[in-house]
A and B are shown apart, each in its own frame.
Chain A
Amino acid sequence: MSLVPTLSALSSLPAEAGVGGNPVADFSDTPLWLAAVKAVAIFVYLMLQVVLVIWFERRVIGRMQQRPGPNRFGPWGIGQTLADGFKLMWKETFVPKGADTFTFLLAPIIAGAVAFVGFAIIPVGGTVNLFGHMTPLQITDAPVAVLVVLAAAGVGAYGFVLAGWSSGSTYPLLGGLRSTAQVVSYEIAMGLSLVAVFLYAGSMSTSSIVAAQRDLWFVIPAFFSFAVYVICMVGETNRLPFDLAEGEGELVGGYHTEYSGMRFAMFFLGEYVNMFTVSALATTMFLGGPAAPPGIAAIGGGVLDQGWWGLLWFTIKMWVFMWFFVWLRGSLPRTRYDQFMRFGWKFLIPATLVWVLAVAFIRGAQLSYLGENTLLATVIVVLVVAVGALVAAWNWDERRARATESEPVPDEIDPFAGGFPVPPLPGQQLREPDGGVTAGGSGSGALASSASSTPTSIPALGTTKEAHRGGSDA
């Protein structure tokens, strides 16, 4: 991306100071019963999409792994999720012996219910006429709306940690702890990445943030925030490659090991609703929410950019993120826990903090805090500092890596050094056996010759080690 278009794009952001921060969406014509109707409708909208995305995920991953995926229930297997749900309903649910019953039952309710909350402030469409009232397609909006999503994510962590703790079992406890540490670590970087958006929009109300993106989606001026947010939303929802809380190889099922039936299904549901919530927030923050894509918005004077059409664009954008989640799961192996935590604490958090300061300087220059016409100069200075910092960090990393480099891998290894045969690593050679092997010797003809020269001994039994050496040499 060259500098000049970026600058002209930046200057098309709302430059007047003091937008106020109050929601743009107008709820004055929305009676309470209508708000309740919208709440139930969006609940159903979410549930339907969860049902759909579970099937979608299994089908797409099936294709990625060269197999058909579920294809028995309904056309293309589309009823698979419902079938799974009914199966789970008829499974026995019980409370294991060591469990704390109250907390054990509370945890899945928290995990399942809190996941929905964040969606309440997401604008899913424009203003429409519902039962004779002009109302925005959004349950509600507040001056601090985005905080609701972050708060719900924080409370959602209780579902995991309480489930892990109350099960009275080792694996769930570890899984719950891991999950909590993971969610809180990535929540910081997630919150910090949104600060750049608040700086540009001057508000934390979702409808105002969407309105501020009328000319330019924030994914361009806040591109680094977008990248950080996308990484964090995968970490936040415990999805591959960051699903360390339920790594089957080490923790069986993680925090939900002891759960069965619909209680287990609540954790499953919570995870998928969470995926939709974070995707919806990404759409709202960076991709213009329910606004039509730039090319389509111009058609017919914006007729495709209002009312119910917003629901279509919003759903499409959200599903792009869902596709991304599925794609990640089909492509990447799980990370190691220490790598995951290191990446979050040592890279994402400091880098996002520095990025927030850079955006603050750019925004300040745009509002002429640093003098008239300093935008270009500020962007150049920020770029130079950023490149300098990157080079320094890279240099330091290289030097540290060299300092802590472990001893070089020997080219030749003795396969029996540890007492049992070890296959060579790539680049290693097996050492030739030393002399002094009398009975077996080395080489392909050794066994035959020893057998013929000393007929009284049985070489395979008497000199097992040597025989093995000869074998691995051949």
Chain B
Amino acid sequence: MAVVVSSPYLPILIFFACGIAFAALSVLGLGVVGPKKYNSAKFVAYECGIQPSPRADQGGRVPVKFYTVAMLFIIFDIESVFLFPFAVAFDSLGLFALVEMVLFVLTVFVAYVYVWRRGGLDWD
């Protein structure tokens, strides 16, 4: 009797391992195949030929808009985290789930309208 797959997630790991093996071989292994010719200009950050603009403290500053997007993403991602089990179990939950979900989505919409009015969704 052969070993039957015990966990449904084990084959995903095997598949992932194929991907990692291929990518790691390409990135690390095949790096030795190509030529190696030193040229100081080659190692400078590419900026269309001009002297690269300095970045403050490695990483520099980034527009705060990206941070806002990340925060908003968390709000709505959590909302969808609640919606997924609701959708799957909807058949057995009955009218209660429907009413509850309408209230929940309305609550999130209040936050959404607030963010919209405060300009959180405008890019410029």
Q: Interface residues, chain A, CB within 8 Å of chain B?
A: 17-19, 21, 23, 27-33, 35-36, 38-40, 42-43, 89-94, 96-98, 105, 108-109, 111-117, 119-121, 139-142, 147-148, 165, 167-171, 173, 177, 180-181, 184-185, 187-188, 191-192, 195-196, 198-199, 202-204, 252, 257-258, 261-263, 265-266, 337-338, 341-342, 345-346, 349-350, 353, 356-357, 360-361, 363-364, 367, 369-370
Contacts and interface: CB of A to CB of B under 8 A. Distances in A.
Contacts of B70: 181, 184
Contacts of A90: 33-35
A342 B122 contact: yes
B97 to A, nearest CB: 8
B117 interface: no
B11 A139 contact: yes
Given A32-B10, A92-B37, A17 B92 contact: yes
A321 to B, nearest CB: 21
Contacts of A265: 26
30 contacts: A17-B92, A31-B2, A31-B5, A38-B11, A40-B18, A42-B15, A43-B18, A43-B19, A90-B35, A92-B34, A96-B46, A97-B44, A98-B45, A109-B23, A109-B27, A117-B19, A170-B53, A185-B73, A191-B77, A192-B83, A195-B87, A196-B87, A198-B87, A198-B88, A257-B46, A258-B46, A337-B123, A356-B105, A369-B98, A370-B95
Given A140-B8, A195-B87, A252-B48, A94 B42 contact: yes
A57 B100 CA distance: 47
A199 B72 contact: no
A112 B23 CA distance: 6
Counting chain B CB atoms within 10 Å of each CB, which of A35, A90, A96, A342 scores highest?
A35
Contacts of B77: 184, 187-188, 191
A161 to B, nearest CB: 10
Contacts of A42: 15
Contact of A32 (B4, B83, B91, B122): B4
A397 B77 CA distance: 27
B118 interface: no
B121 A342 contact: yes
Given A27-B8, A342-B123, 4 more contacts: A177-B63, A184-B73, A266-B23, A360-B87
A472 B11 CA distance: 73
